[in-house]
Amino acid sequence: MLGQLEIRKVRLPEDRDALEQLDASIITDEICDIARERTGFVIQFVPVAPITKTYSVDDLATEQRLWEAGWVAFVGERLVGFVATRYERWNRRLAIWHLYVDATLRGRGIARSLLETAFDHGRRQGALTAWLEVTNVNAPAVKAYEALGFTICGLDLTLYSHTEARGEVALFMAQSLT
């Protein structure tokens, strides 16, 4: 049973150690396959041999982060989730830079609560849309984002070309905040 969930603004460097301990790994036996067609792409979930990926919040030690606001979720004394955002004024978009829930507590509404907090913040700034990027290998996250109201709005076949995620495809997802 999940205890009382508390969400508050992230405090750095105070929360850094707990954030680095967050189990943001995934294990999946399906991916979002991208098939190129003459005039577009088809995206479908396909089974694969189990894949394990470990994600980490990699920009906690620097003041030059891509995000400007963040919140953490606690159950008791345990940090169990994190969301970080940046408001892009020019197109009134709230970019979700990080959304992690500890692997042992997924599916219990923590991501939804974190996103609601972030969305409220974004709306107060004037955001009309929330937007995020996720790799096609993280099919569990794609499904979770869809359940949270996001839809795929684009992709980039080359975004990860020169990274450890070479061969993966960036999927962009968005939802209206109005």
pLDDT, tens digit (0-9, with 9 covering 90-100), for 34-75? 999 999 999 999 999 999 999 988 889 888 899 999 999 999
Q: What is the phi/psi pair of residue 99, to 5°? A: -150, 110
Contacts of 126 (CB under 8 A, 6+ apart): 87, 89, 92
* 3-state DSSP percent of the chain in helix, strand and coil, to 5: 20, 45, 35
In terms of Cβ atoms closer than 10 Å to its own Cβ (0-12, 13-18, 19+), residue 140 is middle
pLDDT of residue 22: 95
pLDDT of res. 59:
86
Q: What is the pLDDT of residue 58?
A: 81
CATH topology of domain 5-176: Aminopeptidase (3.40.630)
pLDDT for position 166:
95
Q: How high is the pLDDT of residue 3?
A: 77
The predicted pLDDT at position 140 comes to 97
Instruction: Check if the beta carbon of residue 134 is closer than 8 Å to that of residue 165.
Output: no
pTM of this prediction?
0.94
**Angle 67-104-119 (CA atoms, 0-180°, nearest 5)?**
35
For the chain, the domains span 5-176
pLDDT in tens, 24-45: 999 999 999 999 999 999 999 9
Q: Which segments in the chain show pLDDT lower than 50? A: none
